[in-house]
Amino acid sequence: MEESLVPLVPMSHTATAHIRSHRKPRRAGNSSLAMRAGVAGGVLSTLAVAGASSAANAAEPVTQTIELPTLTADLATQIAESADATQLAAANYELQAERDAAAAKAAQEARKDLAEAKEKAEAKKKAEAARKAAAEAAVSRSAERATLAASTSTSVSSSETTQVAAPASGSVATVIAFLNAQLGDAYVMGATGPNAWDCSSLVQAAFKQVGVDLPRVSQDQSMQGTEVSLSNLQVGDILYWGAKGSAYHVGVYVGNGQYLDAANPSKGVVVQDLSGYPASGAVRVL
């Protein structure tokens, strides 16, 4: 069967202008739609890949990822407040440390003060004990002197107020002459003349006339010079009663078994016989 050929007749420009084009006009919304479709496709692709990755790594341990918060104004304020709180806590710790140090120092000083107080109390206690012992010794010496006075009171002779013969010259003669001049003076404990004496002050004053400086009390006077035996006494020797170094009474030997002393308040300065109350010892300083 033969095809019939239809001759093509050229169309004029006028006719062509009235023929509607089959090409659709481009719409502005098409590009936006395409972009959305692409984004959606990307999201779906990402989800698909994530799912595949999760399936693949299901056997592996899961590591938790902590997302850092976005630094906002509120978070910055919280951080600043936290820093202030930390600084305040540090200041409080420092203050507490200073208080603890001050408390420790105060405790140390208190312990030191307590130790010093104990030392002072102990020293006071010892001083009080020494004072008491001295008082008891004084009472004992007074009792011994009273015994001495009682033992000689019944044998008082006229020689008690009679001057003794002194050597013609020399230091001993000067000592005896001074003692003779004090006969009849009063005995007063602690007195040093010129009209009242105790035993040791009279002896001290007598030997001072010849330049011999004796200690004030009997105990120390018994330690002076050279020790001599009672069987070898010479005029001018110092006699003492009681132990050497702790004597409670002294006098001066004047010869013929006699001594001159400030005896006691009832007798005063007298001459007495050694036989009535023998001395404990003697020392020679001239």
pTM of the model: 0.47
User: Does one domain contain both 192 and 272?
Assistant: yes
Domain final position from 95, 126, 154: 154
pLDDT-wise least confident of 38-42, 151-155, 193-197, 225-229 = 151-155
User: Does one domain contain both 142 and 203?
Assistant: no
Position 7 in a domain: no
User: Does one domain contain both 258 and 191?
Assistant: yes
Cα–Cα distance, 244 to 228 (Å, whole number): 12
- The pLDDT tens digits of the residues spanning 199-257 come to 999 999 999 999 999 999 999 999 999 999 999 999 999 999 999 999 999 999 999 99
User: Does one domain contain both 99 and 202?
Assistant: no
User: Does one domain contain both 180 and 221?
Assistant: yes
H helices of the chain, where? 13-17, 29-56, 73-153, 171-181, 199-208, 218-221
DSSP state, residue 192: B
Decide: helix, strand or coil at residue 227. Answer: strand
The H or E element containing residue 22 is: none
- The pLDDT tens digits of the residues spanning 42-55 come to 544 444 444 544 44
User: Does one domain contain both 210 and 265?
Assistant: yes
Instruction: Answer whether residue 119 shows pLDDT above 80.
Output: yes
